[in-house]
Amino acid sequence: MPELPEVETIVCELRAQCLGRSITSAELLRGDMLKRTADTFDSFAAFFMGRFFQGIDRTGKFITFHLDNGNKLIAHLGMTGKFISAKNGDPDPAHLCSRYRFADGGWLGHVDIRRFGRLELYRSDEEIESLKGLGIDPLSSQFEADSLLKFVHSPGGNKRRTRAVHTLLMDQSLIAGIGNIYASEALYLAGIRPSRHGGKLTKRDRERLAEAVVQVLRASIRACGTTISDYRRVDDKPGSFKEMLAVYGRPGEPCQACGSEIKKVKIGGRSAFYCGKCQR
């Protein structure tokens, strides 16, 4: 599933290729992808007709397309979703779910093989329900060591104190955008075992972990994300951070720092990867 660095990469590329281009038509080819329709519009096409994308941004793993009239398209890529920029005459890709044609030629296609993603339409005055329950963005200026303390000790924190830190990092209501890959990588960089209870993190642990989260995410963004199977950029190129992964997807291989064997463990139904010597 695309995580924060992959979605950030896609957003940056979409801005460069789509902003300010007048939309002449929009097609919804897979009706099950549209989970919400703005109540004043009769059709998907009418929502976009004659408009243009004025802004595109990211909240956690969600992409928001801002139209020039204030209306919004919200997209979540699920496990296999991607956007493809195409030219006139290019063939339709397989599993095309929606398409947006531009007046100056070319179009933007939304592809999703397994269709676990979603599209939502909102009028300018409507509150975006999907973004309401998201936690802090780890790349925001507000994210720091104290953020990790707050989400463990906030209301409901008694239960969180006994949850594994790997699970806490992936809780989108606490921190928005981190998934399995970057939880494992950040914990490795911070020297913290993924099974450690959140309530047992010391102040220094929290400082190291907050720094590691930001460092890993920014490094992956510079590499345009991690392509392991389905993730592709808007130009259909893969991300190259896979070559820099220290523990994720490397069970049985030697740790790059100490040579010990990388281990894999199930935590909360998800696989976590760690070095038993470097992460105590």
Determine the Cα angle at 261 with ends 255 and 263, to 5°. Answer: 105
**Candidates 8, 21, 58, 61; catalytic one:** 61
The rounded radius of gyration (Å) of the Cα atoms in the chain is 20
Question: By three-state DSSP, how is residue 55 classified?
Answer: strand
* Residue 2 is a catalytic residue: yes
**Candidates 2, 5, 138, 194; catalytic one:** 2
Given a contact cutoff of 8 angstroms between Cβ atoms, the answer to whether 98 and 26 are in contact is yes
Reference 137, options 72, 81, 221, 77; nearest CA is 221
Give the C-alpha separation, 170 to 52, whole Å: 34
Give the C-alpha separation, 98 to 261, whole Å: 45
* Residue 3 is a catalytic residue: yes
* Residue 61 is a catalytic residue: yes
Reference 246, options 194, 169, 201, 187; nearest CA is 187
Tokens 């949850």 sit on residue: 163
* Residue 270 is a catalytic residue: yes
Reference 44, options 57, 63, 27; nearest CA is 27
Q: How many CA atoms lie within 13 A of 33 on its CB side?
A: 27
**Candidates 51, 161, 163, 270; catalytic one:** 270
Hey, what are 13's tokens?
A: 């590329």
Give the C-alpha separation, 131 to 181, whole Å: 22
Reference 2, options 78, 96, 115, 85; nearest CA is 78
The residues assigned a catalytic role are 2-3, 61, 270
